[in-house]
Amino acid sequence: MNPKPKYFDDDCAGKLAFMGKISSSVTHELNNVFSIINEYAGVIEDKIYAAMNGAEFDVDKVMVYKEKIVEQISRGKKLNKNLNGFSHNADDAEIEFELTSAMENFVALTKRTASLKEISLEFAAYHTEVFMKGDLFSFEKRLFAAMTYLLEFAPAGSAMKIIAENKNVPCVTIASKFAGAEFEDIKSGIENLSGGLLENVSQNAEPDSIYVQLKFQD
Amino acid sequence: MAKIKLLIVDDEAELVYPMSERLEIRGFEVEAVTNWSDALKLFDDSRFDLAIVDVKLPGLSGVELMKMIFQLQPDIKVILMSGHGSEEEARDCKAKGACELLIKPVKMNSLVNKILKIIDSGDESEA
């Protein structure tokens, strides 16, 4: 694995590094949104100039381009809302939140981190309306550390799932594939960085799958 | 006169298609793909004058892809695109063989001028 990322640490610098990692990823994606809007606005401008010079003005095509701009504005607003919600998680050491919507937001914000490794990140909720109180930001930081650690072993093209559940205690499971390393080695790596939140690491019946369950600390 | 042939590689499909259309309107021949493996496959039976490659691609960085493209077609010119490039990053990309590092969103007139300048200077150096 590459040198240990700063956001694996639990100190203040580690938390800042986690915040930086998420915000740099989302702002990169927001920049893509602006770039797409820029290109579609440019195509519309090109079509208008062409029509002014005698070419046929294809209204239907221009309406499609306009719709693409509207889609990107909606995408950008959602990204902005997700990042704003995430940033407020750090307001207090203890906040009230609902687990499934918090994890859905977490997956939306970290999808790009996974996709750069050619892994598709998916969200699932086995239970809903799991209302909680606690240090969500620190939990998400540990979850992100575990997730990025597992991404190092996940084969390109595979899927990783983040599952919110409330069986005995509220917890989140990362279900992933792995290759190129032994299960026990990955398990000990996860144990070192989960800071006491680790509920369970298992393989179940599938030899190339790993399930890492993190629980909330009261 | 033959059209200048461009390859665009960016994982944002919604970005590459309008960009391709705008470049085609301006007289270029354009192929656009959204991942590094499709980009490399194109070199099986195509040659390009210039490739425009995003720095951050899933699975392989734009700089790594550029190096692989140079192995397949050593005389190709490459412009890299980045969302938030610094001067240091621009120097680094040029040191690795890129002609330019453009920051997105890209201004079309500026992109076209840069393409023409790069192609012209390449023609002069070959003369």
> Can you tell me the mean pLDDT for B107-117?
96
Q: Residue A123 half-sphere exposure, CB side, CA atoms within 13 Å?
A: 17
pLDDT tens digits for range A40-59: 999 999 999 999 999 999 99
User: From residue B33, how far is each of A37, A56, A108, B76 by CA, in Å?
Assistant: 19, 29, 25, 17
CA angle B17, B5, B37 (to 5 degrees): 60
Reading the block at residue A171, the tokens are 């917890």
Please give the residue that has the higher pLDDT: either A4 or A129. A129
Q: Is the per-residue pLDDT at A120 higher than 90?
A: yes
pLDDT tens digits for range A161-204: 999 998 878 899 999 999 999 888 998 888 887 666 777 888 87
pTM above 0.90, yes or no: no
- Predicted pLDDT at A195: 67
The beta-carbon neighbor of A42 closest among B22, B58, B104 is B22
**A101 touching B, CB under 8 A?**
no
Q: Which of A23, A28, A36 is best to mutate for the B interface (most B CBs within 10 A)?
A: A36
| Exposed/middle/buried for residue A37 (C-beta within 10 Å: 0-12, 13-18, 19+) | buried
> Can you tell me the mean pLDDT for A83-98?
89
Q: Which residue of A has its CA nearest to B57?
A: A116
B15/A36 Cβ within 8 A: yes
The beta-carbon neighbor of B22 closest among A46, A71, A115 is A46
Reading the block at residue A131, the tokens are 């209302």
pLDDT band, very low/low/confident/very high, at A1 (cuts 50, 70, 90)? low
Q: Strand B29-33 relative to strand B5-9: parallel, antiparallel, unpaired?
A: parallel
A68/B25 Cβ within 8 A: no
Give CA–CA dist B8/B16, Å, rounded.
7
Strand partners, B5: B29
pLDDT tens digits for range A26-41: 999 999 999 999 999 9
Give CA–CA dist B9/A95, Å, rounded.
43
pLDDT band, very low/low/confident/very high, at A115 (cuts 50, 70, 90)? very high
Give CA–CA dist B53/B57, Å, rounded.
9
B9: DSSP letter? E
B59/A156 Cβ within 8 A: yes
Which chain B residues contact residue A118 at CB under 8 A? 58-59
Contacts A–B by Cβ distance under 8 A: 60
Give CA–CA dist A205/A208, Å, rounded.
9
Contacts from B101-105 at CB under 8 Å and sequence distance 24+? B101/B55, B102/B52, B104/A31, B104/A32, B104/A34, B104/A35, B104/B15, B105/A31, B105/A34, B105/A35, B105/A37, B105/A38, B105/A39
> Can you tell me the mean pLDDT for B97-117?
94
Q: How far off is chain A from B53, nearest CA to CA, in Å?
A: 14
Q: How far off is chain A from B57, nearest CA to CA, in Å?
A: 6
Reading the block at residue A111, the tokens are 């999808």
The string of DSSP codes covering A79-120 is HHHHHHHHHHTTS-SSEEEEHHHHHHHHHHHHHHHHHTTT-E
